Amino acid sequence: MTSVGARKPAYSAFRSAPSVRWRPAVRAPEATSAAALSSTGVRVVVTPRIGGAVTVTLLRGGRLVAVKKQRLSAGRARSFTLRWAQAVGARSLRVEVKAPGGATLRKSLQVR
């Protein structure tokens, strides 16, 4: 607060910055097979701490492989199934979860 009682200019930037405290809880497997990835897919369970649009992406290197977006309520777990038909030859993938107010969560996924 300033001497006149107004908020400082950096306050809004501080409030809108992603926070580790509001990061969503995520459960995802550590490994899967290429056949399972192309047929049944990878199931990622997300529980956001703040309601809003949640984006779950599957990346190989820096390339986007699969994306799912959905609006979720705070504290309610929801599962996302990500599939990739051309999974043969991939060794490692990354699952990224973006939720409102929270820092982006990244998990690695090994392909056998």
Domains, the chain, with CATH or none? 22-111 (2.60.40.10)
> What local confidence, expressed as pLDDT, does residue 56 receive?
98
pLDDT tens track for 62-96: 999 999 999 999 999 999 999 998 887 888 999 99
pLDDT tens track for 14-25: 878 888 899 999
The residue assigned the tokens 């492989």 is 65
4 CB-near residues (< 8 Å, 6+ apart) = none
Query: d(Cα 82, Cα 38) in Å, to the nearest integer?
Result: 9
108 CB-near residues (< 8 Å, 6+ apart) = 30, 92, 93, 94, 95
> What local confidence, expressed as pLDDT, does residue 11 receive?
80
